[in-house]
Amino acid sequence: MESTLHRPEIPFEIEPPHSFNPQTIVLQPNNDLNASCSDSFQQTLEEALDLAAEEVIVDLLWGDVTDLKGIKALVAGLEKATVLGKLLSFQSMSPQTRASVEAEWDQQRSIRFGAWADVFELELERFLDTVSKNSLTEAIFDPKAISEGARK
């Protein structure tokens, strides 16, 4: 008895979806981030941010950031995540590295956007203080007036 395999003229093919993006991508470098490898890691991180639909997680369980170049690679990732509106989180990061990343992030924002202190003109500050004090006084001495004013 002979068996034959039926082969259709056009083989069955599954086309990968054109817009498949994983929700989360986890990057886990297996050595320290330093001057010798931080450029390639930064490129990988930025590609992951482009590809991920929502979030990229960098797990530093098997390595740490050992110099400024590695810190700058992580901060560049934070900047790109901010621009893309995506989440970037760091896991297993030493407290020293976290402090260094935060300091570099603050410095980069300060360079690009100036100081973050929001100070209004003195007259506006006084006006806001007066309004808040008057509202508080009114609420303490005549709480009914506040609720009636809200209904008008």
Q: Are residues 102 and 130 in the same domain?
A: no
Q: Is the same domain home to 40 and 104? A: yes
Q: Is the pLDDT of residue 12 over 60?
A: no
Give the C-alpha separation, 58 to 28, whole Å: 6
Judgement on whether residues 35 and 105 belong to the same structural domain of the protein: yes
Give me the DSSP letters along 53-70: SSEEEEE-TT--B-SHHH
Instruction: Using the structure block, give the residue that is written with the tokens 């991508």.
Output: 25
- Angle CA(136)–CA(133)–CA(125) in degrees, nearest 5? 140
* 81 and 147 co-located in one domain: no
Residues 75 and 102 grouped into a single domain: yes
Angle at 40 (CA atoms; ends 83, 96), nearest 5 degrees: 75
How many structural domains compose the chain? Answer: 2
Structural domain boundaries, residue 126 = 122-151
Q: Average pLDDT in the 23-28 region? A: 94
Within a domain: 7: no
User: Quick one: which of 50, 93, 95, 55 has its CA closest to 74?
Assistant: 93
Residues 6+ apart with CB under 8 A from 31: 37, 62, 63
pLDDT tens-digit map of 106-128 = 898 888 776 655 556 777 777 77
Report how far residue 127's alpha carbon sits from residue 63's, in angstroms, rounded to the nearest whole number: 53
What pLDDT, on a 0 to 100 scale, did the predictor assign at position 111? 82
Average per-residue pLDDT for the chain: 79
Considering the entire predicted model, what is its pTM? 0.63
If asked whether residues 135 and 89 sit together in one domain, one would say no
Closest alpha carbon to 92 in 64, 56, 54, 55: 64
Same domain (yes/no): 67, 141: no
pLDDT band at 7 (very low <50, low <70, confident <90, very high): very low
Are residues 89 and 31 both part of a single domain?
A: yes
Same domain, 65 and 101: yes
Are 32 and 88 found together in one domain?
A: yes
Is the pLDDT assigned to residue 19 strictly greater than 50? yes
- The proportion of the chain whose per-residue pLDDT surpasses 70, expressed as a percent, equals 70
Same domain, residue pair 76 and 135? no
74 and 142, same domain (yes or no): no
pLDDT given at position 40: 94
Per the domain annotation, does 35 fall within a domain? yes
Q: Token pair 């590809």 is at which residue?
A: 51
Higher pLDDT, 78 or 109: 78
66-76 residue pLDDT tens: 899 999 999 99
